[in-house]
Amino acid sequence: MSQRFRGKIVVITGASSGIGRSAAHAFARQGATLVLAARSHDSLEAAAAECRALGAEAVAIPTDVADEHQVADLVATVTSRFGRIDVFVGNAALFVYGLFEQTPTAAFKRVVDTNLYGHLNAITHLLPHWRQRGSGTYVLVGSIQSLLSAPYQSAYVTSKHAALGLIDVLGDEFAHTGIRFTTLLPSTIDTPIYQNGANYTGKNSHPLPPTVSVDRAGRAVVRAAAHPKRYRYVGRVQASLVPLQYVFPGLFHKITKPMVELFALRGTGAPTDGNLWTPADAGNATDGGWVAKRRRVTRPLLVLGAVAAVATVALGRARR
Ligand SMILES: NC(=O)c1ccc[n+]([C@@H]2O[C@H](COP(=O)([O-])OP(=O)(O)OC[C@H]3O[C@@H](n4cnc5c(N)ncnc54)[C@H](OP(=O)(O)O)[C@@H]3O)[C@@H](O)[C@H]2O)c1
């Protein structure tokens, strides 16, 4: 197995769950020394233990990325303990379902504080260190919603578009230096974000299909750090909507709201702040169980379909 990151110090925010936790496993397999950050304590410690079981050195440092002092402490602690930070994965994010008028202003601001200012806080404290060393790689875990409009997600879409804008500009300003900025643009990924996020719609929240496995996204984070390029997509189907939005905007904006209502918001559910203000420590996990659930439904249907097809052919032959 390749050990591309042996001896490299990799910090991942939002490593207690989902893509960040899967990326931590993927970096651990590549020999990285890992510093895992998120607000939770137990699930973050569990993620670090999983990395150690894979043979990596890994520590957990509980941090709220929206709090600049905590992020400054994180960067200072890592640089003094390990001497440097080679890769910083800005992955932590909060998610909210709700029409703009359903979404409390405080919830909107909390999402932007985490999903946009969380990056600003990190980059502000990383740059003096990276300037001094002449190198460093910042991986932004963005979203396909960094490029696409999505009704019922105004806070998330605003924060994701803005974070992409920041990283794009930094990519231009630091071109031809050893400091790299790269963005991952995942489509729907199988993580607990849909169970843990806030939801003010009165409907249950589901991922918008098709759902891509979390480990594919985790491996893509490692590839982005190893070969930083401006954008890297994960999941082709939703990525194909990006040109549609610009070439046929009328059509794109006609289908988005019904699509979300049909596929992502089904059944009734009580409005919830989810993990906005308090981490969902017990709900954090590497995957959200969505792909397994889909398989539980589609596999029996496929088997039934195959049995029916074979029976039809056999019956036809018997009749001849
Ligand atoms: N799942 C998808 O469909 C999808 C699609 C496109 C992009 N993404 C992006 O992928 C990234 C990871 O999301 P995910 O799907 O893996 O979600 P997830 O399972 O909910 O993980 C989110 C992580 O962020 C942490 N976090 C949230 N607020 C934080 C804060 N203020 N400070 C520090 N950590 C915080 C959470 O831990 P604590 O609660 O313990 O703090 C958790 O570890 C996000 O940037 C998301 O926007 C996800």
Q: Ligand 1 pocket check: which of 44, 67, 88, 91 to mutate, most ligand atoms within 8 Å of Cβ? A: 91
199 lines ligand 1 (CB under 6 A): no
40 lines ligand 1 (CB under 6 A): yes
Closest of 171, 122, 169, 155 to residue 12, by C-alpha: 122
- H or E segment to which residue 52 belongs: helix 42-53
238 lines ligand 1 (CB under 6 A): no
Give the active site residue among 97, 117, 138, 156. Answer: 156
Q: Give mean pLDDT in consecutive 10-residue pieces for the chain, a chain of 320 residues.
A: 91 98 98 98 98 98 98 98 98 98 98 98 98 98 97 98 98 97 98 98 95 98 97 95 94 94 94 98 96 76 64 71
Predicted local distance difference test score (pLDDT) of residue 280: 96
Q: Ligand 1 pocket check: which of 191, 219, 221, 276 to mutate, most ligand atoms within 8 Å of Cβ? A: 191
Are the beta carbons of 96 and 111 closer than 8 angstroms? yes
**What strands lie across the sheet with 136-141, from one edge to the other?**
58-60, 33-37, 9-13, 87-90, 136-141, 179-186, 231-234
Query: What's the 315 CA to ligand 1 centre distance in angstroms?
Result: 53
Q: How far apart are CA 120 and CA 135, in angstroms?
A: 18
156 is catalytic: yes
114 lines ligand 1 (CB under 6 A): yes
**pTM (two decimals):** 0.94
Predicted local distance difference test score (pLDDT) of residue 200: 98
Instruction: Give, using CA atoms, the residue closest to atom 41 of ligand 1.
Output: 39
38 lines ligand 1 (CB under 6 A): yes
Predicted local distance difference test score (pLDDT) of residue 318: 74
Predicted local distance difference test score (pLDDT) of residue 167: 98
284 lines ligand 1 (CB under 6 A): yes
Query: What's the 103 CA to ligand 1 centre distance in angstroms?
Result: 19
Instruction: Give, using CA atoms, the residue closest to atom 14 of ligand 1.
Output: 18
